[in-house]
Chains A and B, each alone.
Chain A
């Protein structure tokens, strides 16, 4: 074993780098012990403790001392090279000062100078995140559902007090100055401002107006519970006031799932106070098609024959109408339209007879994506319904737009063709605009080619399916 102590007078390195260098030296094969350090009293005593002979070393704290004990001269030479490498200046490939990614939407918004925070975190965590965003002064859209109503109350009360809009929880769709958030269709800029406590309700209204050549400035989602007794339309009333104050909005459309009666009255009263026309469409009272007609009338625009791509399906096999929906409001509207024609319609898979099911409901989305994105569940149900001889007609929605499946027709047509071969009639409510990334007319053509009747208006699709059912019964 050879011990070597070497002095480099006047050479300075900081102690951290020297500790790293010492570590590198100790890792050289054949090195028993090594230390490189500034020759301070402390370090010299450390070297003494390590068994190095320092009698001939005259060094001070401004000198660098290297001490190595190794099995051979070759190893000591190798250690010398390792030392030089360890102490050489190392250029760093990415010397950038980039910050770590922000961990909360509130801090991401602060970094980016955002004005709206979009949350789709699990519902149990949405409250804390949303409150942070509000405290920092941002408007919030909460896509997440399963947020307790007490938390929604706190958020909306806070938002109302500070002039911040809380869209949601359970807000699937919004359009702010033309930018779609969540599930949203591509719309032209236009004179309509919407407030909607219903995601697919907003989408259907956008699509019908688009077909009539009318664009949308804003569509402010408020979340599916906003017109409940507990929430009292807090966000809807706020949005209504803001749209009334926005000079670029000519007509306001208010849409909601069936509201609590007292809350509905409050919204009607607020609408009456507005300085511009307000068309209210409450599900269970009106169809969205009727609402769109009223909006067009306020604008002095003609109501068009909404796009439809129909086939004669009167020779379908006899049986019930089964509704396979991805949009809750579209399902509810279809029942509202079809029930007066066909009689009672159930809402679960176990209901005998006619049944319209919302596969976007939590019950069916556990562990998988929403059926607007992932068609697997509905393809399974198409096949199961084809095999169920009690069914005669399938009514289903296909929702296009940002956030939705990039080509739903391509995924659905094999199952639709199969069902039609088995004698079923298939009626599709296609919720889309020509500007949507999936291209409404391309999707419609593919579904039509597969043998389905396709209607832009959900109410028209429901009526068509119901008529097929009654025609079947009569024959």
Chain B
């Protein structure tokens, strides 16, 4: 008796892709048939897909990569200073979001943030001076992603900035992110007004040391546990972080009161700052994601997307099986809702490392968990659910910890398979903020964007090239 006899002994249940005529004739016999809404793969990928499929290693490789991604346990352990935690970071090194970029091609918000960071570091006297020096190549730019770090929007991380340290409770990995400054006129959106610089100075003088001290006194905070709870409280982990920030404040509250080695007014200011910033946890959720994505990197033949990131000029992705290569395409505009009298005319193309959340099953992939922000998807909860459900088509697993109540606590779709993206044409759905395109403007809105297909097309072709 072979496995084949299972088929012969039972009623056939058919799923069909291709001409409707064949499915019709099954229904004509009174049997049910599940039809796929099939379409040909992207035309430039058919040969690469056939090659990867024939090679046969991709399936196991993807399984290895996604299990590594899911195995990490991100623990927030400390807050350090960038120049201390990043080996070889010079005084003129600035990490930034997205794939590599040089000043000449940098977007408005990216330039604004670099200018702001130069002012903050005392490397320039005024914005014009900063821009001139940057043009002369007096700063060294490097992607956060090359250093185990992530940064939202412009993601600019300069040597004096405090950085959160996230360690893997189940392994050896470590990841980093800056601390979130709040909304509005902030560096990450490209603003560099005096109040922006003053806030950065307060962050390195008060917020970083106090938080670090509180953390060291209480011990690590399990970020995955917080994120998992927050998804059941209406967060998506990207555009809504209100619940996870509240949960974090409860976790750290006791240590702020009696653990942190700092004057009372500073501890109170830190509490108020976190309380007043619904996005405080965004950076830490991102760093938790980076820990998983780095763990999944470097599996030969794997088409798992380990990085999606934008610098305001280019949208770039990396695949587990293609090493350090970036596959880029022009950063798309964001389909957004705008603050005040800002319009899409004022918007920069998509920017930020925050798409790490979508890479690990949060953000747009967890939209169904966040009814409060369904306005971005046409205003209906059903639209949010559809958006999440669509992502299961291109992902490798359902997240064991991140669950969606509205989907009967199904795990979020996690682990984007670039091969399935080019096969189905289903693009990763991203929830994001929108920065003003003029340097210094700050945030102008928020909305949705789809990852550009070209990155995945190039990635899949490069992956096929790696096969011996």
Which A residues are closer than 8 A to B by beta carbons? 14, 16-17, 19-20, 22-23, 26, 33, 35, 42, 45-47, 49-50, 90, 92, 94-109, 111-122, 124-125, 127-129, 131, 133, 135, 138-139, 143-144, 150-151, 154, 158, 162-165, 176-177, 179-182, 184, 186, 217-218, 238-239, 241-243, 245-246, 373, 402-403, 437
Whether the Cβ atoms of B382 and A121 lie closer than 8 Å is: no
**Contact check: which of A108, A139, A218 meets B34 at CB < 8 Å?**
A108
Bitwise, B7-38 to A at CB < 8 A (1) or not (0) is: 11111111111110111011011011111111
19 contacts between A and B (CB under 8 A): A16-B374, A42-B183, A49-B340, A97-B406, A100-B393, A108-B15, A114-B34, A115-B10, A118-B16, A121-B38, A125-B46, A131-B53, A176-B8, A179-B29, A179-B31, A181-B12, A218-B8, A245-B1, A246-B5
**Contact check: which of A23, A97, A128, A162 meets B385 at CB < 8 Å?**
A97
Interface presence of B147 (CB below 8 A):
no
Which residue of chain A is the closest to B374 with respect to CB atoms?
Answer: A16
> Which residues on the B side are within 8 Å of A180 (C-beta)?
25-26, 29
**Contact check: which of B7, B39, B338 meets A115 at CB < 8 Å?**
B7
> Which residues on the B side are within 8 Å of A98 (C-beta)?
382, 386
Whether the Cβ atoms of A119 and B28 lie closer than 8 Å is: no
Asked, given contacts A112-B13, A143-B18, A437-B28, whether A14 binds B36 with beta carbons under 8 Å apart, the answer is no
Which residue of chain B is the closest to A141 with respect to CB atoms?
Answer: B14
A-B CB proximity, top 5 nearest = A163-B3, A120-B18, A16-B375, A112-B34, A109-B15
Whether the Cβ atoms of B16 and A117 lie closer than 8 Å is: yes
**For the complex, what is the distance from the CA of A99 to the CA of B374, rounded to whole Å?**
17
Q: How far is the CB of B305 from chain A (nearest CB, A)?
A: 17
Asked, given contacts A104-B38, A105-B36, whether A163 binds B17 with beta carbons under 8 Å apart, the answer is no
**For the complex, what is the distance from the CA of A140 to the CA of B280, rounded to whole Å?**
51
Whether the Cβ atoms of A100 and B390 lie closer than 8 Å is: yes
Which residue of chain A is the closest to B391 with respect to CB atoms?
Answer: A100
Asked, given contacts A14-B372, A23-B338, A245-B5, whether A181 binds B34 with beta carbons under 8 Å apart, the answer is no
Asked, given contacts A103-B38, A165-B4, A242-B5, whether A403 binds B15 with beta carbons under 8 Å apart, the answer is no
Asked, given contacts A14-B372, A242-B2, whether A176 binds B12 with beta carbons under 8 Å apart, the answer is yes
Q: How far is the CB of A41 from chain B (nearest CB, A)?
A: 8
**Contact check: which of B18, B21, B376, B389 meets A100 at CB < 8 Å?**
B389
**For the complex, what is the distance from the CA of A124 to the CA of B380, rounded to whole Å?**
40
Asked, given contacts A107-B36, A114-B13, whether A97 binds B382 with beta carbons under 8 Å apart, the answer is yes
Q: How large is the interface on B (under 10, 10 to 19, 20 to 34, 35 or more residues)?
A: 35 or more
Asked, given contacts A16-B375, A112-B13, whether A102 binds B393 with beta carbons under 8 Å apart, the answer is yes
Interface presence of B50 (CB below 8 A):
yes
**For the complex, what is the distance from the CA of A448 to the CA of B264, rounded to whole Å?**
104
Which residue of chain B is the closest to A127 with respect to CB atoms?
Answer: B50
Whether the Cβ atoms of A402 and B12 lie closer than 8 Å is: no
**For the complex, what is the distance from the CA of A20 to the CA of B379, rounded to whole Å?**
9
**For the complex, what is the distance from the CA of A450 to the CA of B315, rounded to whole Å?**
68
The B400-433 residues at the A interface (CB cut-off 8 A) are: 406-407, 420, 423-426
Q: How far is the CB of A402 from chain B (nearest CB, A)?
A: 4
Whether the Cβ atoms of B386 and A99 lie closer than 8 Å is: yes
**For the complex, what is the distance from the CA of A35 to the CA of B445, rounded to whole Å?**
13
> Which residues on the A side are within 8 Å of B35 (C-beta)?
101, 108
Given contacts A118-B26, A242-B7, 16 further A-B contacts (CB under 8 A): A16-B373, A19-B339, A19-B375, A20-B375, A92-B382, A97-B407, A104-B393, A108-B15, A117-B15, A121-B17, A124-B46, A165-B7, A177-B10, A180-B25, A246-B9, A437-B28
> Which residues on the B side are within 8 Å of A127 (C-beta)?
50, 53-54
Whether the Cβ atoms of B38 and A105 lie closer than 8 Å is: yes
Which residue of chain B is the closest to A154 with respect to CB atoms?
Answer: B54
Whether the Cβ atoms of A138 and B15 lie closer than 8 Å is: yes
**For the complex, what is the distance from the CA of A210 to the CA of B222, rounded to whole Å?**
69
Q: How far is the CB of B11 from chain A (nearest CB, A)?
A: 6
**Contact check: which of A102, A151, A179 meets B54 at CB < 8 Å?**
A151
> Which residues on the A side are within 8 Å of B452 (C-beta)?
none
Please indicate which of the listed interface residues A109, A162, A243, A437 has the most CB atoms of chain B within 10 Å of its own CB. Answer: A109
Which residue of chain A is the closest to B182 with respect to CB atoms?
Answer: A42
